[in-house]
Amino acid sequence: MQILNIILAILLIALAIALIVFVLFQTGGRSNKLSQAISGGSPDNYTGKNKQRSKDKKLSKITTYIAIAFAVVVIAFALIMNYQHNHPASSADTTTEAVTTTTEAVTTTAETETTAAEATNAETTAEAATEA
């Protein structure tokens, strides 16, 4: 799950930067048209006007798609973080617990075998002492 968090965080940062850049590239809509009308900066020919509109339209669509992707990634990131908070036993924790349990079992088995060997050794020593 940690890898997924890292990937989503990087994606979130990239989308945020892209969203900022595409918003800054846009000409500004109404306020820009007003300033061009006052200063006389608008192009006079038909192709110039349509070229600017098509560029703005493309930038607006791209900005909308990036904003939607940003919102989806934020919601996914929040859901994953909430799930991890409510279920702290992730796969990494489970693996660590399994290794610890296996190590404890091996240690317990080794101690039992050592105790059994000592008991057998003590019985042999007791029999040898009795015979002597």
CA dist 2 and 41 (Å) reads: 53
**What pLDDT is recorded for position 109?**
59
**Predicted local distance difference test score (pLDDT) of residue 57:** 87
| Per-residue pLDDT tens listing for the chain (132 residues) | 788 889 999 999 999 999 999 999 887 655 555 555 555 555 555 555 666 678 888 899 999 999 999 999 999 999 999 988 888 765 455 555 555 665 565 556 556 666 655 666 666 665 666 665
Classify residue 19 by burial, with Cβ atoms within 10 Å: 0-12, 13-18, 19+.
middle
* pLDDT of the residue at 26: 85
Burial 66-80 (b: 16+ CB within 10 A, else e): beebbeebeeebeee
pTM: 0.52
Environment class of 41 (CB within 10 Å of its CB; exposed 0-12, middle 13-18, buried 19+):
exposed
